[in-house]
Amino acid sequence: MTTHPLTHPQSKTGLQSLWVWIAAVAVVWIFQFFFVGYVDPYYFSIVMYSGINATLAVSLNLVNGFTGQFSMGHAGFMSVGGYVSALTTSLVVAKYPGIMGVDAGGPGIEGAILLVGALFLGGLVASLAGFLVGLPSLRLKGDYLAIVTLGFGEIIRVIVLNLNVVGGARGMANIPALTNFGWVFSVCIFTVFTIWRIVNSAHGRRFLSVREDEIAAEAMGVNTTAVKVRAFVMGAFFAGVAGGLFAHYLRYLNPQTFDFNRSFEIVIMVVLGGMGSITGSVLAALLLTVLKEALRPLQEITRLDFRMVIYSLMLIILMLNKPNGLMGTREISDVYQSFREKLRVRFGANQGSDQKGAKK
């Protein structure tokens, strides 16, 4: 991957200004309060899973894409976060049932505080797991690291399977329904924002330097150990939060949800989107979540399920023909810029504000 540029030339413009992100969150909440009720529940659930998957994919991208480590145990962190936060809210709600609101009222502000606290706790414990998994990355790379992370994910699953406090194989039912559109997408935006800021900061260049050439980075004074562990810890934190959202949306957790096929799914999203492209991950998560449902009619007609076959075939073909994924290391803004450039070349100069972008 040595040919990828280290910098994102466009990233300084616009997206780093905080207000854009705040506005996005505001839009999400406006949507939550005024429009959610009108969306068809089935499509709504696809939208919700897209948001959760996007969070997972972006957080894995920090490890796999930006830091160049290869983790295949992301579902493990997700399950840690999911179980910890679900256990927290379940215990609290069991003690203070009033939090869930009476009748149609739904959970109020207390519910929101509880959810945020539980998500944070879940994320913290997940990041602790991430720290443990990150440690081997100091000595291992490539295939070895991949299979060790996969092994960690499996170990987590086996441990959960034997934990009676969270139901073991019977799973954990009756988790309070606290997740809503607002929270899923606030978290998603927050994740994108945080990781975007990190990889585009001077500090974040260290992640990229580890990916490009670990030895050279070390020689330049980058503490590669710290960087790798940090990537794992942060990636795990957001995966844990996403797991918490998942738990409080589905309201039921089972260890089998988090087997290594789930980890593969997240890896596929990152690879499809392009390792090293945040918007790519978001896009791919959206695409794959929708595709999964879009392929349902095919299954209804043929009575056979081709979905996983198509998924895996897509992965192979992608690697053979377009190994950098949809976006490579570019972001959507870069794509937009180059697209506009092409238009410019074809249709002559635009006026005014386009000048800056066109110079690239």
158 binds other proteins (CB under 8 A): yes
- Cα-to-chain-centroid distance, residue 67: 15
Smallest distance from the beta carbon of 130 to other proteins, in angstroms?
15
29 binds other proteins (CB under 8 A): no
Smallest distance from the beta carbon of 311 to other proteins, in angstroms?
7
CB 225: neighbour CB atoms within 10 A?
Answer: 14
Instruction: State which residue, 19 or 347, has the beta carbon closest to other proteins.
Output: 19
315 binds other proteins (CB under 8 A): yes
Are residues 273 and 282 in contact, defined by beta-carbon separation less than 8 angstroms?
Answer: yes
Candidates 76-84, 153-161, 190-198, 200-208 — which segment interacts with other proteins by CB under 8 A? Answer: 153-161
**For residues 353 and 263, what is the distance between their CA atoms, to the nearest angstrom?**
44
List binders of other proteins among 49-108 (CB under 8 A). 49, 70, 72
Candidates 94-102, 123-131, 225-233, 254-262 — which segment interacts with other proteins by CB under 8 A? Answer: 254-262
**For residues 225 and 239, what is the distance between their CA atoms, to the nearest angstrom?**
21
Instruction: State which residue, 174 or 201, has the beta carbon closest to other proteins.
Output: 174
Instruction: State which residue, 66 or 124, has the beta carbon closest to other proteins.
Output: 66
Smallest distance from the beta carbon of 205 to other proteins, in angstroms?
21
**For residues 354 and 274, what is the distance between their CA atoms, to the nearest angstrom?**
27
Instruction: State which residue, 205 or 340, has the beta carbon closest to other proteins.
Output: 340
Query: What is the DSSP secondary structure assignment for residue 222, as one 8-state letter?
Result: -
**For residues 44 and 249, what is the distance between their CA atoms, to the nearest angstrom?**
12
Instruction: State which residue, 6 or 319, has the beta carbon closest to other proteins.
Output: 319
Smallest distance from the beta carbon of 49 to other proteins, in angstroms?
7
List binders of other proteins among 277-296 (CB under 8 A). 286, 290, 293, 296
- Residue owning tokens 């800021």: 197
Smallest distance from the beta carbon of 82 to other proteins, in angstroms?
11
Which residues are CB-neighbours of 215 under 8 A, at least 6 positions away? Answer: none
Smallest distance from the beta carbon of 316 to other proteins, in angstroms?
4
Q: Please select the residue that binds other proteins; options are 170, 203, 342, 360, rule is CB under 8 A.
A: 170
186 binds other proteins (CB under 8 A): no
Are residues 274 and 329 in contact, defined by beta-carbon separation less than 8 angstroms?
Answer: yes
- Cα-to-chain-centroid distance, residue 245: 12
List binders of other proteins among 338-357 (CB under 8 A). 352-354, 356-357
Q: CA torsion angle for 130, 135, 136, 137 (degrees, to 10)?
A: 80
Query: What is the DSSP secondary structure assignment for residue 304, as one 8-state letter?
Result: S
**How many residues does this entry show for the chain?**
360
159 binds other proteins (CB under 8 A): yes
Three-class secondary structure of residue 11 per DSSP: coil
**Paired strand residues for 253:** 172
Q: Please select the residue that binds other proteins; options are 116, 252, 338, 344, rule is CB under 8 A.
A: 252
Q: Please select the residue that binds other proteins; options are 197, 205, 251, 344, rule is CB under 8 A.
A: 251
Instruction: State which residue, 117 or 177, has the beta carbon closest to other proteins.
Output: 177
Q: Which of 74, 128, 118 is nearest to 92 (CA)?
A: 118
187: tokens are 């978290």
**For residues 236 and 127, what is the distance between their CA atoms, to the nearest angstrom?**
5
Q: Please select the residue that binds other proteins; options are 95, 139, 346, 359, rule is CB under 8 A.
A: 139
